[in-house]
Amino acid sequence: MLNEAFAAAGAAAWGGLPFSELAEDMPPAAIVKVEELCPSPRTVLVAAFPYYAGERPGNLSLYARGRDYHQVVTGRLNTICNFLKEKYQNGAFLPAADNSPLPERQAAWRCGIGLRGKNGLVILPPYGSYVFLGTILTDVEVDLPSRTPSAHCVGCGKCLIACPGGALEEAGVDLDRCLSELTQRKGELTADQGALLKNHPLIWGCDTCQQVCPYNAAPALSPLPEFREGLVDALEGADLEGLTNRTFRERYGDRAFAWRGPAPLRRNLEARGE
């Protein structure tokens, strides 16, 4: 029945594992935070939701052009939680999307969802790496399907070579040179970081490592309307002119690029001379 419930919620794939197993990938501080959210955690469910809407001109990362994935994925996972509450009436079910101490990608890989990309992303054919992950944490021992941990991608290294900041290494990601990170970082950047920003085509996020990935050569479009309709492809200085933090959130609060407010976006536009 969970297969049908996840499919109805729009998930392209899902899996689950005991929290004790996932805890092997977590630092002690993160485990403490999980236990504060859910005393006696037993099971973690993880699901992938496609978001690719096609190649379109713009200066925002593809993931940020549709509705805010935190809101969308959490809302869709809530339908799963409601289903589970009927079956496990005394259980607690906590949905999250990129805003909990759970390591979502490690959970997905341990469940066998997609492949392990060298750029640290989950690659889920036919959607490529254009998927959002969400989790459900519960104190119930849910009946789970069998699983085989994810294999690695072909390891062509194109993502490492193409990274404009040289942030991708075999050992991981150097966040101080990752343009996805830098475009979202508040405050002033170093001169070197500012130079990276000046030559970057996007004012929010970075899609380079995904665009060169062979698994993303012809990704399937997302079936989810929140990520296909009403897209905001680009922002210009005029779009932000005169907006306070409050009015900015009133206009763009349903977008993933809004969580830092307008200041980083203005800085990034100025770095590009716009």
Residues annotated catalytic, as ranges: 98
The distance of Cα 156 from the centroid of its chain, to the nearest Å, equals: 23
| Alpha-carbon gap, residue 54 to 221, rounded angstroms | 7
Listed residue (72, 83, 69) closest to 5, CA to CA: 83
- For residue 271, what is the enclosing H or E element? helix 263-271
Q: What is the dihedral of CA 100, 105, 109, 115, to 10 degrees?
A: 160
The residues with which 49 forms a beta bridge, in sequence order, are: 132
| Alpha-carbon gap, residue 90 to 40, rounded angstroms | 13
Peptide bond into 223 cis (omega under 30): no
| Alpha-carbon gap, residue 141 to 10, rounded angstroms | 24
Kindly tell me the number of DSSP H helices and DSSP E strands found in the chain: 12, 8
Residues in Cβ contact with 196 at an 8 Å cutoff, skipping those fewer than 6 apart: 164, 165, 177, 179, 182
| Alpha-carbon gap, residue 231 to 70, rounded angstroms | 16
Backbone φ, ψ for residue 107 (5° rounding): -65, -45
For residue 124 the two structure tokens come to 């889920």
Per-residue DSSP letter, 60: B
How many residues are given for the chain? 274
